[in-house]
Structures are given as C-alpha cells and as structure tokens.
Amino acid sequence: MRDKPREVSPVSGGKRADLGRARSQEDQILERLLKAGDYGCRNVELWDICHAVTSRISGLRRRGWKIISISEGRGVWRYKLLPQTASGPTAQPSPADDSATLPLFAGARP
C-alpha cells in the first residue's frame, strides 16, 4: 500500500519575501560598492552576499544608480559606481529612464 503524497505548503511570504531578500542583497552590494570607491568590486568578491550578482546590479541600475561593468576575463567582472551617484541612496533616475513610466501610446498621434 502506497502512502498518500504529502501536500507541500507554500513558502510564507512567497514572491514578497523573494523581493525583500533581493532588495536587501542589493543594499548590501551597494554598501560594498560605496566603500570600495574607485577600485570597485569584482563579482567573485560579492558572491558571499549572493550568486545572482548581475541581477542585483541590474536592480540597482533600475533604482537609479550608475554602475559600470569592466570585464577582467574568464567570467570575472569589476563593478564601479560612477562618482556622481556615490552621493547616497537618494540618487534619481536619469531623464531617459522616465520614458519607461509613460503610458505605451503617450506620444502617439491619431
């Protein structure tokens, strides 16, 4: 006689918990980049925070931080904050980013 399969309960928080964790990881990476200054941080140095470094850097960019990526070869990347964004976490997105929030046909004419 076979046992009845167990029902798996959803993880508490679900996607909301994942988003909170990602934001926390972004903040930790941002703190490291701010401390690193002009030297920046390599992706392998950030792996102790998370292994999804590229995704977290993308999240920081969406939040308005200007971060450059420099390939050092063999899958190693150095990330640096540009000086104008190192002033603090209140950096505003560039005007070009504003178009992403406009309605799809905002500039269209009939």
What token pair was written down for 101?
């929030």
CATH number of this structure's domain 18-90, picked from the four choices 1.10.3470, 1.10.260, 1.10.10, 1.25.10? 1.10.10
- Given a cut of 60, whether residue 1 has pLDDT beyond it is no
What would the pLDDT profile of 33-50 be if each residue is shown by its tens digit? 999 999 999 999 999 999
Q: How far apart are alpha carbons 83 and 86 in whole angstroms?
A: 5
- Given a cut of 70, whether residue 81 has pLDDT beyond it is yes
pLDDT at position 4 is 57
Q: Is the entire prediction scored with pTM above 0.75?
A: no
The length of the chain in residues reads: 110
